[in-house]
Amino acid sequence: MIKNIAFIGAGNMAGAIIKGLLEQNYPAASIQATTRTTASAERAAAELGIHTSTDNRAAAEWADVIVLAVKPQMLQATCEGLADSINTQLIVSVAAGIDTASIARWLGNEVAVVRSMPNTPSQVGVGASGLYANTRASAADKAFAEQIATATGLCVWVQDEAQMHAITAVSGSGPAYYFLFMEAMIRAGVKLGLTPDTARQLTLQTALGAATLAGQVDVPVDELKRRVMSPGGTTERAISAFEAGNLPQLVEQAMTDCAARSQTLADELAK
Ligand SMILES: NC(=O)C1=CN([C@@H]2O[C@H](COP(=O)(O)OP(=O)(O)OC[C@H]3O[C@@H](n4cnc5c(N)ncnc54)[C@H](OP(=O)(O)O)[C@@H]3O)[C@@H](O)[C@H]2O)C=CC1
Ligand SMILES: O=C(O)[C@@H]1CCC=N1
């Protein structure tokens, strides 16, 4: 189904979703975006090929669906500025931390809100989004929010809003963990004598291959790992070094800190 979608904010995340939608042939004429500054609006229009402006209210009044994609710290002021322009539009918020009740309250309460936690691979159709809907959201509202999410990748629903913090720690922030790991592998490959280009190509193809294999065979990831590790071979040495450095515990700590930050944003910004 085609509806008019206004993105309030046209930064990294909104841009990734808009590119994903356009890639799926969603009509550019049915997507608008706003920014705070004229320079950003012009940049986004040139990059995305859609209508952009700095007029949040005009975009909201044109839209059937409003995607809130500003920083969490900007969300309350942005919503309060939009409140008079909201009647029947569906609100989708991608802001980390902030709960649907706060968003509804800032917008005037009687509002259907779907909270989404997407990630930047949405730009190339392999995003992962977690969704939660408030009780005002109808089946049709949920179906449309899901249409946006599935146009850009995988989508899962949660019934307990508190789980959005964990989703942020797994998939919302998750791409950055893999990029960090790739960065480290490329650097180490170069130290071992490869050219940067060769190290980069092999690292990226290996990440893609591992994720594709794990997704296509019905074998748990620990068994897939074991199948690479010949006894007394090379991989065993590498895995031992990761375990000696407590990589699994470090990952758990990093993700616990990430989820806690999402909760803190909610506590500080959505009182
Ligand atoms: N980046 C990511 O991987 C993910 C981000 N998110 C969430 O997405 C949201 C946006 O993050 P991200 O895209 O990274 O941030 P960016 O800083 O890249 O983009 C923020 C955008 O909001 C615009 N903006 C700021 N204030 C206003 C305003 N009052 N009215 C209209 N537009 C405004 C900015 O315009 P200008 O340039 O003019 O200031 C900019 O286009 C956050 O809430 C974040 O939690 C969720 C999942 C993943
Ligand atoms: O770092 C952030 O706060 C945002 C939310 C999830 C990914 N990026």
* Ligand 1 site, residue 117, Cβ cutoff 6 A: yes
Identify the CA nearest to 30 among candidates 13, 48, 12: 48
Query: How far away, in angstroms, is 168 Cα from ligand 2 center?
Result: 7
**Separation of first and last alpha carbons in the chain:** 36
Average pLDDT score over the chain: 97
Ligand 2 atom with the smallest distance to the CA of 117 is: 6
β-partners of residue 51 are 32
Domain range 174-262, its CATH number among 1.10.10.10, 3.90.1300.10, 3.60.10.10, 1.10.3730.10: 1.10.3730.10
Q: Are 78 and 8 in contact (CB under 8 A)?
A: yes
Query: How far away, in angstroms, is 120 Cα from ligand 2 center?
Result: 10
Query: How far away, in angstroms, is 11 Cα from ligand 1 center?
Result: 5
pTM: 0.96
* Ligand 2 site, residue 172, Cβ cutoff 6 A: yes
Tens digits of residue pLDDT in 126-170:
999 999 999 999 999 999 999 999 999 999 999 999 999 999 999
pLDDT for 215: 97
pLDDT for 126: 95
* Ligand 2 site, residue 96, Cβ cutoff 6 A: yes
Q: Are 134 and 104 in contact (CB under 8 A)?
A: yes
pLDDT for 176: 98
pLDDT for 102: 96
* DSSP E strand stretches across 185-236: none
Identify the CA nearest to 57 among candidates 30, 29, 87: 87
Enter the DSSP assignment of 159. S
| Domain 5-164, architecture per CATH | 3-Layer(aba) Sandwich (3.40)
Tens digits of residue pLDDT in 211-230:
999 999 999 999 999 999 99
CA nearest ligand 1 atom 43, residue: 95
pLDDT for 85: 96
* Ligand 1 site, residue 6, Cβ cutoff 6 A: no
Q: Which residues contact 109 (CB under 8 A, 6 or more apart)?
A: none
Q: Is the ipTM of this complex over 0.90?
A: yes
Calculate Rg over the CA atoms of the chain.
21
Query: How far away, in angstroms, is 226 Cα from ligand 1 center?
Result: 41
Domain borders along the chain are 5-164, 174-262
Tens digits of residue pLDDT in 21-38:
999 999 999 999 999 999
Q: At what angle do helices 234-244 and 247-269 cross, to 10 degrees?
A: 50
